[in-house]
A = this chain, B = another copy of it.
Amino acid sequence: MSLLYKHLRVHQVFGANTDVGKTILTTALVRASAFTKPGAFYLKPVSTGSMDVADDEHIKRYTAPWKDRVFTECLYRYQEPVSPHLAVKLAAEQSGHSQPIIPSDETFVASIATHIRGCAAKIKQTSDMYVETAGGIHSPTLSGTTQVEAYRPLFLPTILIGDSKLGGISTTISAYESLVLRGFIVDSVLLFRDKYYRNWEYLQEYFADRGIQVTSLDPPPELLANPSENFVSTQQYYDSLMTPTAENGILTALKHLDSCHVKRLQELDSMPRRTLDSIWWPFVQHGLFKEEKDVNVIDSAYSDFFSIRTPPTDASSPPTSLLQPQFDGSASWWTQTFGHAHSSLTLAAARAAGRYGHVMFPRATNLPALKLAETLIHEGPGKGWASRAFFSDDGSTGMEVALKMALRAYSKRHNLDRASQKTLGILGLKGSYHGDTIGAMDACEEVGVYTCEWHNAKGFWLEPPSVSIQKGKVVVTVPPSIAGDTATRHEMESLSWTYDVQKRLSSELATVYKDYLRRTLSSLQARGSPRLGALVLEPLVMGAGGMIFVDPLFQRVLIDVVRNAEATPPSSTWSGLPVIFDEVFVGLHRIGMESTPPLLGVNPDISVNAKILTGGLVPLAVTLASNSIFEVFLSENKADALLHGHSYTAHAVGCEVANETLSLIKKVIASPEYTQAQQRWETSPGEASTVWSLWDPSFIDAVSRMERVSDVMALGTVLAIKLVDDNAGYTSHSAEEVFKPLLAPEDDRILFSSPGGAPFGVHYRTLGNIAYFMCSLTTTRGNLQTLEDKLWQILIPK
């Protein structure tokens, strides 16, 4: 991850193309740094086929007057003047090895990061460092990954060497745009002042509009045949670039780079105060977080990690990077799918923005929205039951749409008058959460702090039985209200069995549930109040309500009872009450399955997806509906229509990103890491479990046996640990306190599993006495293992 030091300014040098003068201009920069500062570092991670001398040798030769201050290094060197990915293969062939030894991208980045950290530790005085890449910005590095992608985890500020030849305006701008697509900070463009093509004139203006300084420098002299003459002429050239009279010379460029560095440091330092002065955070009591140290400054993010500002705690210790990796342990509020800043999603967003911007949706269509609707209905969570997709902006608005659909369907069928429509209630579960707009809130109970002035809960909420792992046993806990005379604690034979709803339908517990639900619903009906208009469920897991893993059998039986499934044959129209599945949190593989209906064995009439829908990039929600719901709104009268919409409905950017997400998910779930995780949960070799998790089953088992732990559960990417705590509830901070050591990076190993290998802390969120940890679908076992170790260390009795 990012490296940033106050005393060591590090820039990476990318070229708009190969042969644009990258080494010459970097040499000029190293000389200028050596001339003005106590240290100048040069790193050429990969060097291929220098005809004359290697790049780092060239630098050494022409910075000889400051040889005590100049430190050059090359990590991987190949003789063949071809792209590095090819050079490594050719080198293997030449040396008689058929299989080249290719460092992985992780190793590659870690070795660069280690080198930078080493330099930062070596020197205490203000110094500069240049990391020169090979070829053009998208030239493949050793593994074949293009450089601009391979260097991204380090997020170093960038100098782009422009192309001064014919066509160079184009290659320079395109290279710049590829850098922008990876979020890089481009501080400077340097190029030769070619008098014939005059690219610098055009580019100076072009980049000035974009706030980037262009420095143009005289081109080098022609290569002379006589080496010593050539040396002299080259040295004279380099000297000429440093003369104070040289218009726009290298010292000006250096000064600008220094000022960019200072500005960046100042900006980072000012961000906590400025944030405390201007931002109103969601869900945060500002009275409890009013110190600068309370602000997590996220400078950039990559994969599962934030790069956060970490001011040095001890001035006497060796200088550490002001930016440190932090594992995004809440998957950025449950949205991340492939980690941050995934370039396929960025390109998808760019593609739609470039083709459409946002275009009108009612009575219109565009390809990204149409494709997304079709995929969701025919191959996604709507498969087998949904006929229509209605787009909105977030889970909360998606649920408002769902509620409008369901309540209209019920009202129409029962011919309700306006007064009855307004008080129509929701049948739901205690602990539900559907979002923060008033309609979504009104579908949930008014309990605890999660309420507000206009919150006016309408409905009836049942206390659900739940599943958890306690001391190595899978337990279904049935509330006394349901259990009656029967047991409240049911040890299950396995997690897989617990989620085998079809088989459990004939269990005793199914009868207990059925009897209870029939009794309860009959008495509600007899009482006549509240009159219920929809069944609304978060299938399997109620997230915001406290990571409650609801017994799936209970939800299934509830749906059957509501639909009176035994009495009426399965029908294409909704029966009893319209059933809404709020899959905003659980949907699209968050809990290890695309959608919950297959597991529950029943389809909803309406469902809502969001969060993972866009892979964790931009807001978008979709409400899917069966044809029987759609037809309720169908007439020749506008007043019957679903009069709901948001300006950016089905915005092309969101839909295209969602399409890319769904297509990438297909690849991920077929990947070896995913398969291996599933295998770890097999009930017996080759026998898949009904449910599984990316978290390790033996870790889950072990944690569940710990003294301080009351319950554990894991499904898919979600791990929830409930602590033994008397003062539970949403306002409790017990879990937050216990897990605080996670925030601090442990510095007891050589190399860590973060990109670049730095030690890292973990960002996490708690719900009272429950801490939950959530990863993306692509989080590596290495990182999960590190997290599991950290959690273990915290929970183990001291």
Contacts and interface: CB of A to CB of B under 8 A. Distances in A.
A390 B454 contact: no
A525 interface: no
Contacts of A373: 278-279
Interface string A273-307: 01100111111111111000011111111000010
A178 B175 CA distance: 9
A646 interface: yes
Contacts of A28: none
Point out which of A184, A328, A364 has the most chain B C-beta atoms below 10 A from its C-beta.
Answer: A364
Interface string A133-145: 0011111100010
A287 B632 CA distance: 11
A357 B616 contact: yes
Given A169-B83, A183-B351, A340 B360 contact: no
A640 B139 CA distance: 55
Nearest to A406: B453
A335 B81 contact: no
A670 interface: no
A23 interface: no
B352 A183 contact: yes
Given A166-B81, A169-B83, A453-B533, A363 B295 contact: yes
Contacts of A282: 361-362, 390-391, 642, 644-646, 649
A170 B136 contact: yes
A439 B346 CA distance: 34
A466 interface: no
Contacts of A395: 646-647
Contacts of A170: 17-18, 135-139, 146-147, 175
Contacts of A643: 283, 436, 449-450, 452
Contact of A167 (B18, B456, B649): B18
Interface string A356-394: 111111111111011001100100000000011111011
A101 interface: no
Nearest to A356: B301
A333 interface: yes
Interface residues of A, number: 173
Point out which of A15, A369, A439, A611 has the most chain B C-beta atoms below 10 A from its C-beta.
Answer: A439
Contact of A397 (B341, B404, B437): B437
Interface stretch (A33-41, A195-203, A715-723): A195-203
A398 to B, nearest CB: 11
Given A335-B647, A346-B353, A283 B362 contact: yes
Contact of A85 (B18, B202, B340, B407): B202
A637 interface: yes
A777 to B, nearest CB: 14
A260 interface: no
Contact of A437 (B279, B289, B437, B649): B437
A703 to B, nearest CB: 25
Interface in A491-534: 533
Interface in A164-198: 166-167, 169-175, 177-178, 180-184, 196-198
A284 B363 contact: yes
A365 B422 contact: no
B83 A202 contact: yes
Contacts of A139: 167, 169-170
Contacts of A283: 362, 641-645
B357 A345 contact: yes
B454 A407 contact: yes
Nearest to A270: B370
Contacts of A436: 397, 400, 643-646
Contact of A411 (B17, B81, B449, B453): B453
Interface in A240-288: 267, 271-272, 274-275, 278-288
A533 B452 CA distance: 14
A421 B644 contact: no
A591 to B, nearest CB: 16
A645 B294 CA distance: 19
Contacts of A636: 285, 287-288
A32 B358 CA distance: 39
Contacts of A649: 282, 333
Contact of A342 (B296, B357, B363): B357
A524 to B, nearest CB: 19
Contacts of A284: 362-363, 641
A717 to B, nearest CB: 15
A147 B202 CA distance: 14
A11 interface: no
Contact of A453 (B365, B404, B641): B404
Interface in A403-443: 403-404, 407-408, 411, 416, 421-422, 424, 435-440, 442
28 contacts: A83-B169, A83-B202, A135-B170, A137-B174, A139-B169, A146-B169, A173-B178, A177-B177, A177-B181, A180-B354, A183-B356, A278-B388, A280-B389, A282-B649, A286-B633, A286-B634, A287-B634, A297-B366, A299-B367, A332-B358, A349-B353, A360-B763, A393-B619, A394-B397, A404-B453, A421-B453, A438-B438, A617-B651
Given A180-B354, A288-B636, A298-B359, 18 more contacts: A137-B170, A138-B171, A138-B173, A174-B177, A267-B367, A280-B390, A282-B362, A285-B634, A286-B641, A301-B355, A332-B359, A333-B649, A336-B357, A403-B454, A404-B454, A408-B453, A436-B643, A437-B439
